[in-house]
Chain A
Amino acid sequence: MSFDFAFAWEILPDLLRGAAVTLEVMAAGFLLALAGGLALALGRRSPQTVTRLACAAFIEFMRNTPLLVQLYFLFFVLPLGGITLPPITTGILALGLNYSAFLSEVYRSGIESVPRGQWEAARALDLPARDTWRRIVLPQAIPPMLPVLGNYLIGMFKDTPLLAVITVPEMMQAAKGVAGMTYRYNEPYTLLAALFLALSLPASLLFRTLETRLRG
C-alpha cells in the first residue's frame, strides 16, 4: 500500500479549507456552549423549582444521549416545526446545546469551589446579587475552570466530523469527498488524521501546562 506524497500535497488545500470551516463551527459552537452553560448553571441555582427542574432535566437529557442522534433530530425535525436552518447553523446549534450541558457542570464546580466566606463577606457588605456574581464570585471561579474548559474545546473539535453527516463542509467531509471522487482512501484519511493531531496535540499541551501552572 503506497502513500502518494504528491497526491497528498495536491489535496491538502481541500482539507485545509475544510479545516477552516471546522474551526469556524467549533468557535461558534463553543461560544454558544459557554453562554448556554452559564445560563444552565445559574438556572440550577434558581429559587424557582420549575426553572431548577427544567434545567436539570435538560442537562441530564443532553448528557445521556448521543450527539449524533441529537444532530439528526435537529436537522430532520426542526424543519417540521417550521424552522429551516442551513446545515452549518444546525451543526453549531447541536454542538452548542450538547456542550452547554457539560459546561454547566464545569461552571457549577467552579462556582462551588469559591469559599463560602466570600459569599458571606459580600452579603455583609450589602453588595447586590449581580455585583456579587460579577465582581466577587465569577472572577474567582473562572481561572481554575480554564484548563477543563480547554479540554472540552478540544473535545468539541474532535466532534466536528459528525457534522459531515448533515453535509457541513468541514474537514472530514472534505476527506470523504476526495476519497469518493478519486477512489484513493489512504492519502485523504491519513492527512485528515495528521491534521487532527496537528491541531489538537498542541492545544492539549497548552491546556495541560496552563493547568499545572494554575495549580502550582
Chain B
Amino acid sequence: MTLPALLPLLLRGALVTLEVTALAAVLALGMGFAVGLLRLAPSRLLRGLATAYVEILRGTSALVQLFYLFYILPLFGLTLPPLATAVIGLGLNASAYASEVVRTTIGTVERRQWEAALALDMPPWLALHRIVLPQALPLMMPPFANQLVELLKATALVSLITLTDLTFAGSQLVTATGQKGLVWSLVLALYFVMAFPLSRLSRRLERRLGGFRGAVTQP
C-alpha cells in the first residue's frame, strides 16, 4: 500500500483523535474550574473532597484510569461506549491538572486586590467574579494551552480501549500491510502536525501574558 492510500485511513483516525481531545478538553475545563474553586471554599469538607479528587487523579496514571472505567465500570452495571469512556477518563484526569492551574493563578492575584474589594463591602463571590477572576484568566491561558497539548498526546491511550483513533488506525494498518516503518512514521508525523501549532501558541501566549510557571506540569 502506498502513501496516498494509507493517508485517508489515518486521517479518519486523526479526526477521532481531535474529537476526543475537544470533548475531553471541555469536560476538563468545566470540572477544572469547579474543583479549583472548591479548593478555595470556606468549608473544610469541600476543600478536602476537592483535594482528594485532585490527588487521586494525579497520583494514578491516565491509562490506569481509562482501564478502570473500561473494565470495572461494567461490573457495576454501567457500560459506556468507548468514546464516552475515553472522554470521561481523559477529561477527568486532565481536570485535576486544570484545577491546579485555576487554584494557583487565583492565588497569584495580589492579596491587595481582595482587600480592596472587601474594603468596598463586596461579598466574596462578587469579589471573585468581578475583580479576581478577570485578572487571573489571562494568566491561565498559557498553562491551559500546555495542558491541551498534553491532552492531545494522551488520546493515543484510547487506542488501547478499542477506540478507533489515529494510533488505533496505525496499528490496524500495520497489521494489514506489514509496513511498520512507513505507517508509524506517518502516525508520528500526523501527531506532530496537530500538536506543534498548539505548542507554538502556548509559547506565544506565555510570552505575551507574562508566563506563569508553577509545579503544575503534567508529565
Residues of A within 8 A of B (CB): 1, 60-61, 63-70, 72-73, 76-77, 80, 99, 102, 109, 147-148, 151-152, 154-156, 158-162, 165, 172, 179, 185-186, 189-190, 192-193, 196-197, 200-201, 204, 208, 211
**Beyond A147-B215, A151-B219, A186-B75, is A72–B171 a contact (Cβ under 8 Å)?**
yes
Given contacts A72-B171, A161-B64, contact A201 B55 (CB under 8 A): yes
Contact pick for B60, options A63, A152, A165, A196, CB 8 Å: A196
Knowing A63-B199, A65-B192, A65-B195 are in contact, say whether A189-B170 is a contact too (CB < 8 A): no
Query: Counting chain A CB atoms within 10 Å of each CB, which of B60, B154, B188, B195 scores highest?
Result: B60
Chain B residues touching A, majority SS: helix
Is B180 positioned at the interface, with any CB of A under 8 Å from its CB? Answer: yes
Q: Which residue of A lies closest to B68 (CB)?
A: A189
Give 1 or 0 for each of B49-60: 1 = CB within 8 Å of chain A CB.
Answer: 000000110111
For residue B63, CB closer than 8 A to chain A, the reply is yes
> 5 tightest A-B contacts by CB?
A155-B219, A158-B61, A66-B156, A64-B195, A66-B153
Q: Pick from A69, A154, A186, A197: contact of B72, CB below 8 A.
A: A186
Q: Which of B137-162 contact A (CB under 8 A)?
A: 149, 153-157, 159-160
B76 touches A152 (CB 8 A): no
- In the complex, how many residues of chain B place their beta carbon closer than 8 angstroms to a beta carbon of chain A? 43
From B218, which residue of chain A is reached at the shortest CB distance? A155
Chain B residues lying within 8 Å of A61, measured Cβ to Cβ, are: 188, 192
Tell me which of A1, A64, A68, A72 contacts B192 (CB under 8 A): A64
B181 in the interface, Cβ–Cβ < 8 Å?
yes
B174 adjacent to chain A (CB < 8 Å): yes
- Which secondary structure dominates where chain A touches chain B? helix
Residues of B within 8 A of A (CB): 55-56, 58-64, 67-68, 71-72, 75-76, 149, 153-157, 159-160, 167, 170-171, 174, 180-181, 184-185, 187-188, 191-192, 195-196, 199, 213, 215, 217-219
Chain B residues whose CB sits within 8 angstroms of the CB of A155 once the complex forms: 217-219
CB-contact partner of B181 in A63, A80, A179, under 8 A: A80
Whether B199 contacts A204 by the Cβ 8 Å rule is no
Known: A102-B219, A189-B71. 15 other contacts (CB 8 A): A60-B199, A64-B191, A64-B192, A66-B191, A68-B156, A69-B167, A72-B184, A73-B185, A76-B184, A148-B217, A152-B217, A155-B217, A158-B60, A172-B63, A208-B215
